Structure 1
Amino acid sequence: MKIIPTQIPDVLLIEPQVFADERGFFFESYNHQKFTEKTGLTINFVQDNHSLSKQNVLRGLHYQIIQPQGKLVRAVTGIIFDVAVDLRQSSPTFGQWVGYELSAENKRQLWIPIGFAHGFVVLSEVAEVLYKTTDYYAPGGDRTILWNDIDLGINWPISTSPILSAKDQAGKPWKQADLFP
């Protein structure tokens, strides 16, 4: 497992060691001991989520203020552009975002700690996304920031309007979002 630092030090890009030959490939998608040793983080994942989305579907920017979640995200089919936005007011990277392409081919994962909003857009015909969370879903604490908020200026790599859920269409502007201390 290779840990690649991002422009926001608490967000980590993770590349697994892949063993491939003419039969296919094998890799450990998660190993608690190696994750802890390589990142210095002791994480207890409690829930796995799996979504399937069509091309140009954009999900996000989501976070929870009750039972906030850290997320370990990967695409197991297709390609996504995955984004994390720092919502921690005390952070030197407050209001900044990072985005990375995650795909079935590159097998990369993105570690997004508590205190971040998360979203992704599907770049391939379809994509299946799996992610582990550090806490359970709490509907009462669920929040959404507008995906195209001008103050955040996220550079989504799409040329058409994304396909959004009603929840994502109704997201709040960045300046009205509930934030973390």
Structure 2
Amino acid sequence: MNIVETRLPGVLILQPKVFGDERGFFVETFREGWLADAGVNARFVQDNQSRSARGVLRGLHYQRRNPQGKLVRVSRGAVFDVAVDVRLGSPSFGRWVGVTLDDVRHEMLWIPPGFAHGFCVISEQADFVYKCTTYYDPETDAGVRWDDPAIGIEWPELGGGAATAMSAKDFALPLLHEQEPARLPRFEEVMA
């Protein structure tokens, strides 16, 4: 496993070894020690999977209380995956990083607690799989609008725009500067 730091401190790309031959491939998708070796103390309590068609954009989501750390990957297809630092008081507040995840390289992205997360499907279909460090809490579910100009995410073009489908909830999310500061994850609490 090769671990690569991104331009956002704490957000990591995990590059596993993929063993392929004429029969197909084998890849180890999780080992407890990988993140620990990178200095990340994470315990996972929930696994999720979604399937989406080309052009579907999901996000940008976070939890106000009990922020989730996520280890994300694509088991089929390809997505452009994004993490945005929404931790109030963070030196990188409002900055983003994007990575293409697919079923060829099998890279994974570690997104620490306190980051908003979203992705856009760039293949015909994609199965997106992720491990979470805390349980989903609908009462503290929150998000940031995908096209917030202050963040400036450079989503891939998919013919006429960055996305062709998203939920009404995601489309109506507020901009980052419209978030109530008291409801954002706090940098010092998440880092403690």
Relative to the length of structure 1, the TM-score reads: 0.96
**Is the aligned partner of 1:168 residue 2:170?**
yes
The one-letter amino acid paired with 2:7 is Q
Once the two structures are TM-superposed, the CA of residue 34 in structure 1 deviates from its matched residue by 3.1
Residues 71-150 of structure 1 correspond to what in structure 2 (within 5 A)?
71-150=70-149
Identity %: 49
Gaps of 5+ in 2: 187-192
CA distance in 2, matches of 1:10, 1:40: 9
* Aligned-residue RMSD, C-alpha: 1.1
User: Per-residue displacement from partner, 1:2-24 (whole Å, max 9, x unpaired)?
Assistant: 00110012100110011222222
Equivalence for 2:19: 19
Deviations 1:58-102 (A, max 9, x none): 000000012210000001111100000001122211110000000
Which whole-Å CA distance do the structure 1 matches of 2:109 and 2:19 have between them?
20
Alpha-carbon shift at residue 35 of structure 1 (Å):
2.9
Unaligned residue ranges in structure 1 (runs of 5+): none
- Rounded to whole Å, the distance in 2 between the matches of 1:34 and 1:110 is 12
Runs of 4+ in structure 1 off by over 4 angstroms are: none
Figure out how many residues of one structure are paired with residues of the other and give that number: 180
Please give the TM-score of this superposition, normalised by the length of structure 2. Answer: 0.90
Q: How far did residue 173 of structure 1 move?
A: 1.0
Q: Matches of 1:138 and 1:180 in 2, distance apart?
A: 14
